[in-house]
Structure 1
Amino acid sequence: MSDDASAIAENRRRYEELKRAGQGHAPRALPGPSPRGGVPLDAAAILHRETIPGGWYWTTALKAGEALRLSLDHGPSSVALVAWSAADPSERLNYADTVKVQWTAALRKGRVLFSDMGRVMFSLIEDSCGSHDALVGGSNAASNAARYAGGPHRNTRDNLVLAALKTGLDRRDIPACISFFAPVVVGPEGRLGWNASGCALGDFVDLRAEMDLIVALSNCPHPLDPTPDYAPNPVAVTRFRATAPAADDLCRTATIEAVRGFENNAAAGF
């Protein structure tokens, strides 16, 4: 075994050891993916529909108990998301904590998204593909210039700057984003790649807000997407009233870390 392979194996062993110690109990098994094409929504629960054109962004306020459905009704595209607490925008999405606290970078139905205050911002209540990126982040002017001819083309970073300014925030307030429908894979030697079959027409994800939020979405190609042309498809967004969670709600009980996150929400009045 090479020195690099030995180091990877040792790091993996140490990670599993810390994971067992940190969890203290076995997490609940997560279900399979939601059916592609979407779980039907009650028309009375729908509050707003939006289509984000390829290359553009959108912002919205989201109340606790409301949800966003992001759906690929027009074909594959990646959607970058950042969010802030509406009560105090200095509290914001933290994808590093989302990964560390749940001991996985694989976001799928049953997982939650954490803020930098250890509280839960979103629950993933439905998800048809489980191909989302919490490692790489979004595109910027330099990454677009290196990949696409005929630019400049709109990019995630500049879109999120505009979104932040539109909501009264500043570029300094922008956290690292999580990208939905971005099938990033990690190879056996730790190299990042792209699984083009990971997302398809009809895929969707439902994100239930667990506190009042300000949300920004950007529809630009992911930096690892190997497609040679800059041609992101439109993305459909639906804001709706989610069904109130039961006491044994999967997202709230799947892991001891999620339980603690919701206890932190309750302590803060969310």
Structure 2
Amino acid sequence: MHIRRSPEEIAANRARYEEHQRKGLDFAPKALPGFSPLPAPAIDAASIIHREVIPGGWYDAMKVKAGETLRISLDHGFSSLALIAWSAADPSERLNLPDTVKMQWTTGLSKGRVIFSDMGRVMFSITEDSSGAHDCLVGGSSAASNARYGDPMLRDTRDNFVKLALKIGLNRRDIPAMLTLFAPVRVDAEGRFFWNPTLLNGADYIDLRAEMDMTVGFSNCPHPLDPNPAYAPNPVTITRFNAGPVAADDLCRTATAEAVRGFENNALASL
């Protein structure tokens, strides 16, 4: 159905677009830092809210409040961990990787970048990251990708997330595209995906600061491009802790014009 818009509405939409364009052109993006140092710095015990370990092949969901940080760390050896998220206030608002990539002009999500929802709000800030080896293009494993292991009973991320969604009152249509942490997927000159293990550093970690109240889901299964011929995901540690006050010049909140607008949207939603 074609919707006719008034000249006034068209003019207002154009003015809003031109203002966003002007802000983007006038804004000089801040240079991002290098990767976070290893080993991971200790977390103050008084700030820790909860810690758990997700075994290889398993999944879990947790509630996270704005201002808390999730440290996801490979304390037990290598594994790739898939992540999805929904707003706690309205689960129809969910993690949106296409917008995250498009609005920041990069698939390289690392320290200083943010992760957007499909409502243009910021869900996570990446405040620390030791590798930058995260995949937002390929997606998680399935029964078909697990067929190479020769055992139909092995768990996969697609089925894990369907089960997780059902347990929290959602269904498979509510599952967004997933971000896979510690999955060093890159694109070669021919446009083909490949696995680049040189990006990994062993006991890697990433800190994700929550910018809204959320339900976050995890699946600890091998990535479809992982070249290991064995199904051998190691346990992954997730530590939830209070992040403390955020500085006015916080890198994630000020690095790009798109991030600034995303946090403005967060503020408007809280009014």
**Equivalent residues in 2 for 1:73-222 (5 A)?**
73-145=75-147, 147-222=148-223
Following the alignment from structure 2 to structure 1, what is the Cα–Cα distance between the partners of residues 75 and 111? 19
Contact 1:72-1:200 at 8 Å conserved across structures:
no
Q: Secondary structure of 2:237's match?
A: strand
Quote the offset at 1:197 in angstroms: 2.4
- For 2:90, the aligned partner's letter is D
Quote the offset at 1:67 in angstroms: 1.1
Aligned CA distance change for structure 1 residues 239 and 27 (closer, same or farther; 3 Å): same
TM-score, normalised with respect to structure 1: 0.90
**Equivalent residues in 2 for 1:62-81 (5 A)?**
62-81=64-83
Quote the offset at 1:22 in angstroms: 5.1
Following the alignment from structure 2 to structure 1, what is the Cα–Cα distance between the partners of residues 236 and 201? 12
Following the alignment from structure 1 to structure 2, what is the Cα–Cα distance between the partners of residues 205 and 23? 31
**Equivalent residues in 2 for 1:238-249 (5 A)?**
238-249=239-250
Query: How many equivalent pairs are there?
Result: 251
Contact 1:123-1:208 at 8 Å conserved across structures:
yes
Quote the offset at 1:23 in angstroms: 4.9
Give the match for residue 230 of structure 2.
Answer: 229
Contact 2:70-2:240 at 8 Å conserved across structures:
yes
Q: State which drifts further: 158-167 or 225-234.
A: 158-167
Give the match for residue 9 of structure 1.
Answer: none
- For 1:179, the aligned partner's letter is T
Following the alignment from structure 2 to structure 1, what is the Cα–Cα distance between the partners of residues 188 and 22? 23
Matched, 1:251 2:252: yes
**Residue ranges of structure 2 left out of the alignment (5+ in a row):** 1-20
Quote the offset at 1:94 in angstroms: 0.4
Q: Secondary structure of 1:162's match?
A: helix
Aligned CA distance change for structure 1 residues 75 and 187 (closer, same or farther; 3 Å): same
Give the match for residue 29 of structure 2.
Answer: 27
Give the match for residue 6 of structure 1.
Answer: none
Q: Secondary structure of 1:37's match?
A: coil
Quote the offset at 1:75 in angstroms: 1.0
Following the alignment from structure 2 to structure 1, what is the Cα–Cα distance between the partners of residues 270 and 174? 23
Quote the offset at 1:21 in angstroms: 9.7
Following the alignment from structure 2 to structure 1, what is the Cα–Cα distance between the partners of residues 168 and 162? 10
Contact 2:52-2:238 at 8 Å conserved across structures:
yes
Aligned CA distance change for structure 1 residues 206 and 23 (closer, same or farther; 3 Å): farther
Q: Secondary structure of 2:260's match?
A: helix
Give the match for residue 5 of structure 1.
Answer: none
Quote the offset at 1:187 in angstroms: 0.7
Aligned CA distance change for structure 1 residues 264 and 157 (closer, same or farther; 3 Å): same
Two-structure CA RMSD over aligned residues (Å): 1.6
Contact 1:70-1:204 at 8 Å conserved across structures:
yes
Contact 2:143-2:152 at 8 Å conserved across structures:
no
Contact 2:23-2:257 at 8 Å conserved across structures:
no
